[in-house]
Homo-oligomer: A and B are copies of this chain.
Amino acid sequence: MKAEEKIKVILYGIGSIGQRTGKIAWGRENIQIVGAIDSDAAKVGQDLAELLGFANQTGIQVSNDPQAVFKDTEASIALHTTTSFVEQVYPQLESMARAGLNVVSSTEELLYPFYRHPEKSEKLDQLAKSKGVTILGTGVNPGFVMDTLALVMSSVCAKVKKIKIKRVVDASTRRLPLQKKVGAGLSADEFRTLVKQGKLGHIGLLESMLLIAYGLKWEIEKIDENIDPMIADADYQTEYLQVKKGQVAGIKHTVGGYVKGEKGLDLDLRMYIGAKEPHDSVYIEGEPNIDMIVKNGVAGDIATASILVNSIPKVLRAEPGLKTMIDIPAIHNYAK
């Protein structure tokens, strides 16, 4: 195999996911990180080594001036991990595309932005095409276990009648922000109030369902979305917090997509403290039926960081535009 030039990458966002992503990218032979962007004043000016936990300086200082980084580097792609919402990341995505950068983003809504944000998606797609760059939203969930994986499994089906996807995560093994995000330790009333305020729920579950429908070319007539508390059946103590029996242990978030009067797509996500037998499963009722399970489930943050890095060579080979996981060549690990 002939020597390849390293792919020059900018880290845009150096929070928890960004740091994990940066560490994986740094370890890849074919990748060179050339710039780092974060708006957090505590990080700006630091050498990337301090944030990624390396002993030796990298010579790359965190900047809060994206334009300056774009101007001073010759990167081909950005690993973008700032926030979950298209509304907020839109100016960032636009600025990267204008700078001629391909983008892989962990922004949950970007997995399938065409439904919630049709105008912004259209503008971004046009911009990306005019600049010859590809923009992709991905991650483990949304991005893989509850959407792409189900679609990939459907490749061996002549017909698909229904797809039922379940993800059960034991939140006690996850970081504090996730434990808080699922409402652990709240009362059921507090939980429901936060749900009403739009402050609880897994961002991207709707997008997962929409990506599957897009792939299958199913026209969804009705969407059914529910966010309910999982109540603790005993007292639990995690590394970070305590949940008493009867309090909220976490969340059950479901999204159903109806086709021809039937719930053709059924996504069920449970993340709670003390979850038994965590797993990811996909059941396809079709020809043939497919009954798949990933025992213990696919771990969260490392999986998201990994798929972001693993997608780089495929995004670079993809058609320009705002693309989804099924528009680009299949992503996989690679050693280099």
B303 A298 Cβ-Cβ under 8 A: no
Please give me the residue from chain B that is nearest to A284 by CB atom.
Answer: B333
Interface flag for A156 (CB, 8 Å): yes
B154 A152 Cβ-Cβ under 8 A: no
- Residues on B with beta carbons closer than 8 Å to the beta carbon of A288: 298-299, 302-303
How extensive is the interface on chain A, given as a class? 35 or more
Which of A61-69, A73-81, A199-207, A324-332 is near enough to bind chain B?
A: A324-332
Bound CA–CA A292/B279 (angstroms): 10
Interface flag for A10 (CB, 8 Å): no
Bound CA–CA A325/B330 (angstroms): 8
- Residues on B with beta carbons closer than 8 Å to the beta carbon of A275: none
A329 B332 Cβ-Cβ under 8 A: no
- Partner among B152, B215, B299, B319 whose Cβ is within 8 Å of the Cβ of A152: B152
B152 A216 Cβ-Cβ under 8 A: no
Query: Scoring A residues 147 to 163 as 1 if CB is less than 8 Å from chain B, else 0, what string do you get?
Result: 01101111111111000
Minimum CB–CB distance from A178 to chain B (whole Å) comes to 16
- Partner among B148, B298, B330 whose Cβ is within 8 Å of the Cβ of A148: B330
Complex A-B, nearest 6 residue pairs according to Cβ-Cβ distance, in ascending order: A156-B303, A151-B332, A154-B333, A288-B299, A155-B331, A291-B295
